[in-house]
Amino acid sequence: GINAEYGDFHFFHFNKQKQQQKLFLNQNKQYFSKMATRSGNQRRNRQNQNRQNQNQNQNQTQNRQTQTQKEYIEPLPTRPEINFVEIDGSFMEGGGQVLRNTSALSALLQRPIRIRDIRKNRAKGGLKAQHLNGILFIGNIFNATIDGAFIGATEINFIPSSFNNSFRTIVDPGTAGSIGLLIQVSLPCLLFIPPTCQQEIEMRGGTFVTTSPPVETFINAYCTILEKIGINLNLRIVRNGYFPKGNGQVFMNVKPIAKINAFDFSMSPGKITQINAIAFVSKLDRSIAERIWSTAFHELKKHFPITEVAYNIEIKEDRSALDTATGIIIIAKTEAGAILAIDKIGEKGKRAEQVGYEAAYNLIEDHQSDAYFDRYTQDQLIILMALAEGTSKIRCGELTLHTQTAIHFAQLLTGAKFVINKVGEKTNVIECEGCAYKNIHF
């Protein structure tokens, strides 16, 4: 009976406590409601205050950045004592080529230039790391003063001076910036240095990136073309680099020359007799490169039968690079000694078959134009034609915007005279009476 009695007592006591708690809550309902509201308001006030503080901090940071930018991006010095050649960086092609060609010619000819609206025709204008390091490199070779040289700059003064016997030999933008474009800007300058200063240049960045010549194309095509002109360019790839990390490493050696003699490549290229191709993958399955080449070969053999053309294909698996990449380089040689080089790099969302098809189609199109040089080589030869002694001629297809832009600024700075002769529906011969530039160190 004791347990039952204790249980009844406990149940009664528990119910009594519950009733008292309920009564207490009802009596103080208004108080608790007010406290809950006050607590919620305090929490919301704290949150709002935190947001205000964050916004204030962000505004202060932005104001500091803007102020720093305003302090850093000052108007270029007018330098009234210097007779600048004014360069419109937005003219025609309006990209990095304007900067590369004009700064190289400025350094060689010792003509100060002021470039405005740099790369204005690009989605993100101004100097990028690759462009900046390119002009700093040739500026260092010629002890140039460069006003406004920083990433994002849209105008610079480039004032060359005497040759620097101890110029630096490493060019590293710290990005996947194109090594091929670094070669382009520095080659004309390195041709005309003292023979005793010839040395190997180390370049870092991207060896195969979009909208720029791959180093493999230089090695397998452009270097051979330069040999015919009397220019000795040697390139050695230690490590490939792709977007976005880059980290490629290439060594470049240029033999200085006394002058560039006029050259004539105005003849018809004739039939293609050999096609060499390199399809590659980096950190991807080998089958992707095989699919690229399979599609390209399927299209090529329709126009260049295997009974008439010798095909050589190399599938490369790159294990040294940091990034994934894939692409193809196709180099065609003709019976007249012409070289046509086409390259395509894979893109996210683009099938391997499409990459191969586009590369093959571009080569077929270039050969059908009866051109001695492909669409990507023609503009690279313009600066050499302008510097040469005598009349040079090259046969190409329809003039690219890059070529037209290169001609305009070469004429402006060197005084060379260019004439375009149309010799076919899609064929042109570019003729140039060069300025006969000579290496003063010979």
Coil/strand/helix, residue 165: coil
* Burial of 138 from C-beta contacts in 10 A (0-12 / 13-18 / 19+): buried
Token digits for 228? 């015919």
- Dist. CA 412–CA 383, nearest whole Å: 12
Neighbouring residues of 391: CB distance < 8 A, sequence distance ≥ 6: 262, 431, 432, 433, 434
Neighbouring residues of 126: CB distance < 8 A, sequence distance ≥ 6: 118, 119, 151, 152, 153, 154
The catalytically annotated residue of 131, 367, 402, 408 is 402
How would you classify the pairing of strands 145-147 and 113-116?
A: unpaired
* Peptide linkage before 213 cis (omega within 30 of 0): no
- Dist. CA 136–CA 120, nearest whole Å: 20
Coil/strand/helix, residue 277: strand
Handedness of CA 236, 239, 241, 246 (dihedral sign): negative
In the annotation, is 298 catalytic?
A: no
- Dist. CA 327–CA 321, nearest whole Å: 14
- Dist. CA 208–CA 359, nearest whole Å: 15
**How far, CA to CA in Å, does 170 sit from each of 138, 201, 207, 345?**
12, 6, 16, 27
Neighbouring residues of 237: CB distance < 8 A, sequence distance ≥ 6: 207, 215, 216, 219, 248, 249, 250
Residue 301 CB: number of other CB atoms within 10 A? 16
Give the long-range contacts of residues 134-137, CB within 8 A, separation 24 or more. 134/99, 134/100, 134/103, 134/171, 134/181, 134/182, 134/185, 134/186, 135/99, 135/100, 135/103, 135/185, 137/168, 137/171, 137/182, 137/185, 137/186
- Dist. CA 205–CA 245, nearest whole Å: 8
- Dist. CA 183–CA 207, nearest whole Å: 11
Backbone angles phi, psi at 153, to 5 degrees: -65, 140
Residue (of 399, 344, 351) closest to 371 by Cα position: 399
- Dist. CA 117–CA 90, nearest whole Å: 6
Catalytic residues: 402
